[in-house]
Structure 1
Amino acid sequence: RDDLFQTPVDELFSTVMSIVQIQERNKIRVFLRKDPYGRFCYCLAYVPRDIYSTEVRQKIQQVLMDRLKASDCEFWTFFSESVLARVQLILRVDPKNRIDIDPQQLENEVIQACRSWQDDYSALTVETFGEAHGTNVLADFPKGFPAGYRERFAAHSAVVDMQHLLNLSEKNPLVMSFYQPLGQVSGQRELHCKLYHADTPLALSDVLPILENLGLRVLGEFPYRLRHTNGREFWIHDFAFTAAEGLDLDIQQLNDTLQDAFVHIVRGDAENDAFNRLVLTAGLPWRDVALLRAYARYLKQIRLGFDLGYIASTLNNHTDIARELTRLFKTRFYLARKLSGDDLDDKQQRLEHAILAALDDVQVLNEDRILRRYLDLIKATLRTNFYQTDANGQNKSYFSFKFNPHLIPELPKPVPKFEIFVYSPRVE
């Protein structure tokens, strides 16, 4: 009522007509009037009732106080049958401050401040997927992301996560993505990874041993569920972890090599043991790690006298030699198809010399024995199916090696003329 009598007639007419024109539309409007003496500003804000909350009112108040350089603010909120809530705010300002405010710009700032997470997500989804596909995505997940997710992640992260969820298929039932939190204090070594999975949540007792064997110390896990209109459930598991001391992690490498390894371990294509740490420490793909594991299984069979855990830790202690051993194997059985005889011999000899030179620096006698035996086994391998593909062009699920046992020192007698050793997780 005070506003009604204090406002000049022209200004009052303009404001009243604008309020009438809102009708019952869900939109935010802001009307500002200055006190003739310059000590107060009077503001009327109309906000859709379904988005109005204390938080929204505080955002409006903050924008007004910042722009008007106000020292104090009082407010009254009025609810009626209308779809709009009305907030009246009186702001105390310093008459010495002459501030020119553009009412339209101020209103736009208030609208922007009141935008909800869901508004941003909807706009970004349509922008990313295109109008037709984006609208379908929003309709397919009507409840969107759960409140816990919205609390922790920005809307643009949700769009990226939705892309990963939509990429899930029978052929690709699990997707993994590594990221570093934006607000992380420099010096912290905490990393996060998200696992995307359909239908059922991943059991922690299955996932944790895999991540720990890959050399990651899990600090916490946060699961989020999304429900499709067809009733199907999608899960996002967010893991926080640190890596072993002294490791400089490259997120891009993690996303490529580690994701590939994790997916194949979950599927059962690779065993879940300490050898998997080589993916991180040596940067080896999961199949190269499986190759070293297969040779370790053979070492066990010929009674070298060390358990698999010790052999794995030996390779992890000497990642440079582990890498060179896989390079030597690749040279003998993959590059052999591409290089001429002299080039191949020269390359093999140089790799052997490099491995032997590195072995001179190995301090522990048992570790030296294990690594030299690896070198002997690779040199004693005559043929392998490691690089063969099946009828569909996929790598075979098992490895077979044809050995010349006479080239392997300390082999238990009787020594056969040839031996074919077959390895696969299923055999084990």
Structure 2
Amino acid sequence: MLWLRSLIYYIFTALIAMFIGAIAGKEWGLTFALVVISVACLFHLVNLNRLHYWLKHPQVDNVPGSLMLWQEVFDQIYDEMRKQKKSKERLASTLDRFLSAAEALPDGVVILDDYDRIEWCNPASCEHLGLNRKLDMGQPITHLLRHPSLREYLKQQDYSHPVIIRTTRPAEQTLSAQMVPFDSTRKLLLSRDITQLERVQTVHRDFVANVSHELRTPLTVVGGFIETMIDMPTSDAKTRETHLQLMYDQTQRMQRLVEDLLTLSKLESGVQVREEEVDIPQLLQLLRTEANGLSQGRHTIEIGRLDRPRLIGNHDELHSALGNLVSNAIRYTPPGGTVTLGWEKRDDTVCFTCRDTGIGIAPEHIPRLTERFYRVDRGRSRNTGGTGLGLAIVKHILHRHQAQMCITSELGKGSEFAVKFPNARMIE
């Protein structure tokens, strides 16, 4: 203990002074004691001054050195400074990692003080809420927001649920924002981009509504005829046969719809299928045979050029996708028209083409043709046996084969569906 060692030092000095006084006289003993105490006081004053100067500029690298007791004091200060420096470095590293993580968050984060002034925000919040990290620090957030619904949300101070914000600039976007108090004074304003989620929910709602609508019509027809047959058991054979044929047609339509739904679900699940070498001329001959069966002699089915006749892919999926394009061409081409199939080089690659001389498609419909249940003419599509899922299935199959479909059409003159396959799938 420092005070005990100092006490021993002064007791020892007093004993020496008494010994000198007993031998040489009291005056000499007192003089010795005063000189030793003065030197000790000067030594302490010098070290106190050095300590005072260091406290004005405390750095671990310039801790002063000394002798005896003061050296121990300075050593302890040096050890504490080193520990404090390491602790600061750890805290700074932790804070840097926290800030880096917050900067990288896809969700917006804004830290507000008790007066709703911005203390910190990450880049995502600037994008979502239109903030400026350099100019808006310290500003009340209610003065900076461009969304009336969010300003009203903050004004009401009911933070139990998020508020939905829809913006159109710079792009159409839907945001979810919520205030979260995290201590007695500060709050977090969190924002999240839910545009894709909302689109998925919209597609899901439309899908359920469309499926329900597509199934309701044939079920109504079948149910109505069954009731008629129950109420009129003595109806003539011709009427009964007509009713049964209509019921059969409607049940076939429901069966096709269910099969297409199962196919689409399988494709969307992402299950990989076995790929093989596909003989394109053989596949086109098969498509031509099926087209002639569907046409019943009402159309002319031709096969055009055949370049680089082999491809790596799944035969069954390609048969389904390309066959869907051919059947659509037959359905929407009036009797006497021509449907031409081809496999030709185009733009340094090879593509499947299906041209028809049918009714054509208006330009505004072309971008939406591959949407589920989208129809240009609903009545005509149902009359020709379409389920509204064919081109959606085609889109998924082509995506699995890294292929792209290009549609060109003119009303009254026909259409062309061209499917471009990547060169990596071609076999010389």
TM-score by length of 2: 0.29
Higher helix share: 2
When Rg is computed on C-alpha atoms for both structures, the one with the higher figure is: 2
TM-score by length of 1: 0.29
